Amino acid sequence: MDSQAIEMLLPGTPPTVREMYSDHGRKEQIQRQYGSITISDITWAKVSLRASEIVECSIYHWFSNWTNNVARRPESFGKAGWRCIDVRPNIVDYWSKFHTWLEPPVLLDASVLGRPHGLHLMEGHTRIGILRGLIFYGVLQPDLKHYIWRGTPKTVGPVS
């Protein structure tokens, strides 16, 4: 389903989230992980959180190796500078200027998944890996704030 059709079915869904639904929604791994979630019951907001809170997010096990490998990239920061994090010049340039990602990753509040607390990463495994590595290798401070797209359960109004 394309992004415009998703917008018609889920008005107000941010473009980044619509793109994620469109690009990944039919993949088997995504269906296994999120197939029980009703996406129309999720409210999305762009929020600013401390890096330390973001990097503690849970990651589906199929993607954890990738994220862990990406987190090792900043190990060579002393020699390569910001170029160590990515080969795409626009990504490197943005991180070097603003010390954050170009586009916020997509995370779910744990309550959407029936968990008591925390965040769960849906999309942005490379971004989260880079942030983890930059903190681990002392390039960025854990209290630095970054924007994310956070999905939370829609609240149900009072019944009359």
Number of domains in the chain: 1
In this predicted structure, which of 11-25, 85-99, 125-139 has the lowest mean pLDDT?
Answer: 11-25
The reply to whether 147 falls in a domain is yes
The reply to whether 15 falls in a domain is no
The reply to whether 81 falls in a domain is yes
Residue 116, pLDDT score: 83
The reply to whether 128 falls in a domain is yes
pLDDT tens, residue by residue, 16-75: 777 777 766 666 776 777 767 777 888 999 999 999 999 999 998 888 999 999 999 999
Residue 71, pLDDT score: 98
The reply to whether 9 falls in a domain is no
The reply to whether 78 falls in a domain is yes
Q: Packing angle between helix 125-136 and helix 61-71, nearest 10 degrees?
A: 40
* Amino acid (1-letter code) at residue 26: R
The reply to whether 20 falls in a domain is no
pLDDT tens, residue by residue, 107-116: 999 999 888 8
- CA-nearest of 64, 67, 85 to 126 is 67
CA 55-56-60 angle, 5° bins? 95
* Amino acid (1-letter code) at residue 94: Y
- Give residue 124's domain range: 41-153
The token pair that represents 5 in the structure block: 């059709």
Residue 18, pLDDT score: 74
The reply to whether 64 falls in a domain is yes
Q: Check the CA dihedral 66-68-74-75 and report its sign.
A: negative
Give percent above pLDDT 90 in the chain: 59
Q: Which neighbouring-strand residues pair with 119?
A: 109
- CA-nearest of 43, 37, 53, 67 to 129 is 67
